[in-house]
Amino acid sequence: MTSSTDETNHKQKYIQSYGVEGIEDLEDYTENGLHPVNILDILDGRFEVCHKLGSGGIATVWLCYEASEKRWRAIKVNAASHSSMDSPELRISRALKNQAVGSEDLERHHIVMAEETSTFWIEGPNGKHLCSVLPVLGPSLSQWREMAVGFGAVRIQKVCYELTEGLHFLHEHGICHGDFRPQNILMRLADGGLDHLDPDELFELISLHNRHEVRTLDGSHSPNAPKWVIEPLNWYELKDLVLDNVAIVDLGEAFELDSPPRSLGIPRPYASPEVMYGGAPLGKESDVWSLAITLMEVRTGEQIDGFESPLDRMENIAGPIPPPYRSIAAEKLYRNLLRDFDASSQEDMPKPHPPSEKLLQSTGALTELFWKEYQAEGELDYSSPEIPTGIEDYLGEEFWETVPITNGDSVGENEPTTMLRPYRIPKDELTMLTDLLRGMLMYKPHDRTSTSSVLGHSWFTMGLGDEKLNIEEPEKQLFDIKREAQSRTTTEEIVSQVNSQKPSKKISKSEIGSREIAPEADTSELKTNTPGIVPSPRPRGQKRFILSVSQILSWLSTCLPILLSIIILWKLRHGPESTTIEKLEVVNIFITPNRPPVADAN
């Protein structure tokens, strides 16, 4: 998302954070920027802020509990500069309603968006902010891919088909998403989501959030910023609630086909050539390019990185960049090199020259030839033929996936239940997937495969043969391990297994009492991962037969003083010397669980 602040004019105001991941840019807490939200704030008099779900330059999204309805909601708080009833998302919502598209249609086609009837306004030190009430969804597609166990294509194909189906639905109704990427695709939660938990129960299941105290450069607090910024909710701790179903969100860059914008704020790794360099109008074909990059990342489980620049990445997967983009791309390369030269000592590098006409008319990879020309003294040969696309080479590389330990391996105390395993996409699938992506990554927009053709491609319906076992078998193996663990696993084994899975978060034996082992259940709807400490969803009001933390601590607060009295009396009666006790007073010890500590408002 594009920052709401003017990057060229503002000066740094806040001390930047280190070691706290996934937080918003602190400099966006300024006049006309983000609204300062603190944990336990009450929004609109009914939504208690309990955790953060996400953030960007134009909005923050909060996990809130609506006590009167006993349900959880995601509240999106827009920056003041992006708060308008004519915002792109609300405008698209009205356009779809004018086409008789209802909420059920959106739900069926994997789309979740703000509606005008589910908004409210709040005022703060940075201005007036439009807030949207949304259902609580799970982790992003990228996070789901990191949590997914198994290396086969079946689950991946299902998810990829759903996100393609959703994008196709938008295109069929004259809408372009404009910012289609894994971060804007969320996974749905099992029926009821978090609604079977109240805030105290939720805090028993998740770790304390990492946070950073927001201070200005002079060390003071600013009324424009919250006292703390926190990391988003760690969905790994609630992974048993996450389904293999997608929800396309964040239509903040969306537009109607008959009124395309001049530019989009989509990050460069997912931006099509016409978005990055111009030369062609923006339209649904721009979404198709972004979809291709998304499909590639979901299938491999890795972001397309390791390249020197976005152009280098583009040429490696789609071939040398042609006109009309070539001259603009070359000019940007030249400016970047000139900027680096001006910022350096100018002794270790030659001064770059503007791209030559010969370079612009060549058909070779621009990044490679430009770099050679930049470093070379004499004339270069630009007659090299156009290199083929590198999609197949990239997809043919070896990847690493997290998979469960097989039944043949031992799973005992202090041993992990998952392992890293090298994996290559099978050759038959590689051929089909390459064919699909190559058609979507054409430089000329009108040459790209449409979403309807993508849905009909053989990659989604190919017979995978033994490959199906690679995705079904890990789930069965993991369920068997989980079932055995429930019948024979001791407290020490649970501690060691969880700690081996998440080295950064250690739990103690005392915490196990607050965790409910998921009972045997139908795993066709829920993801089954490592032997978990997260409860399976249960209907509201269903009785649990496992003691909670509050029950255990209440029992201890009553019995502990009595037990101490007995020990002291026994010790004095049977000690080496006779002692008379004239008066013994035992003070009750009260131990109660609290929510995560929250700094005071001051």
DSSP output for 209-269: PPEEE--BTTS---TTS-SEEEPPP-GGGGGGGEEEEEEE---TT-EETTS--S-----GG
Residues of the chain with pLDDT > 90: what percent?
Answer: 48
Q: What is the pLDDT of residue 576?
A: 52
294 CB neighbour count, 10 Å cutoff: 23
3-class SS of residue 356: coil
* Cα–Cα distances in angstroms (integers) from residue 184 to residues 180, 199, 280, 367, 433, in the given order: 6, 26, 25, 30, 23
CA 212 to chain CA centroid, nearest Å:
20
Q: How many CB atoms lie within 10 A of CB 421?
A: 11
* pLDDT (tens digit per residue) in 75-126: 999 999 999 999 899 999 999 999 999 999 999 999 999 888 899 999 999 9
pLDDT tens per residue, range 514-523: 333 233 333 3
Measured distance CA(284)–CA(268) in Å, rounded: 17
Q: Kindly tell me if the per-residue pLDDT of 131 is higher than 90.
A: yes
Query: Distance (Å, rounded) from C-alpha 434 to C-alpha 392?
Result: 6
Dump pLDDT digits (tens) for 180-239: 999 999 999 998 899 999 999 999 998 887 899 999 999 999 999 999 999 999 998 898
Selected residue with higher pLDDT from 302 and 525: 302
Other C-beta atoms lying within 10 Å of the C-beta of residue 109: 18
The rounded distance, in Å, linking the Cα atoms of 186 and 371 is 39
> Helices 491-501 & 467-488, crossing angle to 10 degrees?
140
* More confident site: 382 or 295: 295
What mean pLDDT do residues 35-59 have?
94
Determine the pLDDT at residue 409: 53
Beta-strand ranges (E) seen in 135-223 are 175-176, 185-189, 211-213
Mean pLDDT of 153-167: 93
Average pLDDT over residues 44-61: 93
User: Residue 353: is its pLDDT beyond 60?
Assistant: yes
Chain centroid offset of residue 596 CA: 23
Which of the residue ranges 277-291, 359-373, 493-507 would you say has the lowest mean pLDDT? 493-507
Predicted pLDDT of residue 174: 97
Mean pLDDT of the chain: 78
Q: How many CB atoms lie within 10 A of CB 338?
A: 14
Question: What was the pLDDT predicted at 310?
Answer: 82
Residue 543 near residue 198 (C-beta atoms within 8 A): no
Q: At what angle do helices 366-375 and 326-343 cross, to 10 degrees?
A: 40
Six-digit token pair at 62?
Answer: 């909060």
The pair of structure tokens assigned to 475 is 């789930």
* pTM assigned to the model: 0.73
Q: Specify the pLDDT at position 65.
A: 97
Q: What is the pLDDT of residue 151?
A: 66
Residue keyed to tokens 């770099």: 371
Is the pLDDT score of 593 beyond 80?
no
> DSSP letters along 400-420, please?
EEEEEPPTTS---TT--SEEE
Q: Model confidence over 243-274: pLDDT tens digits?
A: 999 999 999 999 999 999 999 999 999 999 99
Quick one: pLDDT at residue 279?
Answer: 84
Q: What is the 3-state secondary structure (H, E, C) of 270-296?
A: HCCHHHHHCCCCCCHHHHHHHHHHHHH
Q: Which residue has the higher pLDDT, 263 or 10?
A: 263
- What pLDDT is recorded for position 475? 41
pLDDT tens-place string over residues 369-425: 887 776 665 455 555 544 445 888 889 988 887 766 655 555 555 566 667 788 899
Only one residue has tokens 């696993």, namely 489
pLDDT at 484: 41
**Residue owning tokens 């959030």:** 209
Q: Which residues of 500-528 are buried (b: 16+ CB within 10 A; e: fewer)?
A: ebeeeeebeeeebbbbbbbeeeeeeebbb
The first and second tokens of residue 448, run together, are 């790209």
pLDDT per residue over 412-432, tens digit each?
Answer: 555 666 677 888 999 999 999
**Largest distance between two CA atoms of the chain:** 106
Residue 107 is predicted with a pLDDT of: 94
**Rounded Cα gap, residues 327 and 322, in angstroms:** 9
Q: Which of 79-83, 259-263, 339-343, 567-571 has the lowest mean pLDDT?
A: 567-571
pLDDT greater than 90 at residue 490? no
* CA 426 – CA 151 distance, rounded (Å): 11
Question: Which of the two residues, 553 and 579, has the higher pLDDT score?
Answer: 553
Which pLDDT belongs to residue 287? 98
Q: Mean pLDDT over residues 143-158, rounded?
A: 81
Residue 527 makes CB contacts below 8 A (sequence gap 6+) with: 147, 148, 149, 239, 240, 242, 243, 244
CA angle 448, 454, 457 (to 5 degrees): 120
Which carries the bigger pLDDT value, residue 334 or residue 348? 334
pLDDT of 507 higher than 50: no
Number of helices (H), then strands (E), belonging to the chain: the values are: 18, 14
